[in-house]
Amino acid sequence: MLLDVKDIATYYGSSQALFGVEFSVAEGEVVALMGRNGMGKSTTIKSICNLSAPKTGRILFDGKDTGKLAPYKVARLGVGLVPEGRRCFPNLTVHENLVAAARPGEWTVSEINALFPRLEERHAQIARSLSGGEQQMLAIGRALMTNPRLLILDEATEGLAPVIRQDIWKALRQLKTKGLSILLVDKTLSELLPVADRCVILENGRSVWTGAPADLTPGLQDRYLGV
């Protein structure tokens, strides 16, 4: 297993958000982390990156316990995060944003440009003047430039124009084809399920169901994901 999340409990101050989340991501696997609003998806992602470190339980990345590592050290192990809200350096250009994050490996600026031609066209543009969708592409590009072994995306297509969403899903399918391990949270089931190898559902801070997308019946969707 590349990532092993073992029965973690995470708190915000004295308020408990996760009560036992357990799942894994194998090398080359795409795992969809699902659940209704407030069920703990973002907290699980922050726990993996040690941005909100779990109080109990363990997280192993490539067999290494990440428990005592600072977030930047978790990133160095090979965890690339595209956080909710697409954070880039607003006053740097597209190109500067990409190289600022770079670590040696397969992903270079030219690979990112091939994945997102819109970014190549805007390589000298200041990031804050990009559209929301372009900023999201840049956030994904930046994460890839760290040459991660696991890419984590939290609501990467939320609130974007349909044509841009399609470009992002196309890029995610390409990343899957390349064999990258991916953990993603997204509300668009029609796009998410075809790309996922496995689904993990959270309810009230607990992992309550895991299985193949084909086994996620309308009944289960209604029970765990319906509004």
Residue ranges in contact with ligand ATP by CB under 6 A: 12, 15, 17, 35, 37-43
Which residue lies nearer to ligand ATP by CB, 18 or 75?
18
CB of 40 to ligand ATP, least distance (A): 4
Q: Which is nearer to ligand ATP, 101 or 168 (CB)?
A: 168
Nearer CB in complex with ligand ATP: 120/203: 203
- Which tokens sit at 124? 């000298």
Question: In the complex, what is the shortest distance from the CB of residue 164 to ligand ATP, in angstroms, rounded to a whole number?
Answer: 20
CB of 34 to ligand ATP, least distance (A): 9
Residues 26, 29, 30, 32, Cα dihedral to 10°:
-30
Tell me the three state secondary structure of residue 221. helix
- Residue 21 or 101: the one with the smaller Cβ distance to ligand ATP is 21
Return d(Cα 48, Cα 177) in angstroms, integer: 24
Q: What are the Cα distances from residue 217, in Å, to 33, 34, 110, 200, 222? A: 16, 14, 41, 14, 8
For the bound state, the minimum distance from the C-beta of residue 98 to ligand ATP, rounded and expressed in Å, comes to: 27
List, in sequence order, every residue forming a beta bridge with 23; answer none if it has no partner.
5
Query: Based on CB atoms, which residue is closest to ligand ATP, 122 or 186?
Result: 186
Minimal distance in Å, beta carbon 93 to ligand ATP? 30
Cα–Cα distance measured from residue 38 to residue 108, given in angstroms and rounded to the nearest whole number: 36
- Cβ nearer to ligand ATP, comparing 15 with 190: 15
What SS3 class is residue 73? Answer: helix
Rounded Cα–Cα distance for residues 177 and 131 (Å): 27
Nearer to ligand ATP, 42 or 146 (CB): 42
Least separation in angstroms between residue 183's CB and ligand ATP is 13
Q: How far is the CB of 112 from ligand ATP (least distance, A)?
A: 27
State the amino acid at position 139 in one-letter form.
Answer: A
Starting at the earlier edge strand, list the strands of the sheet with 64-65: 64-65, 56-61, 3-12, 15-25, 206-211, 198-203, 30-34, 181-185, 150-154, 79-82
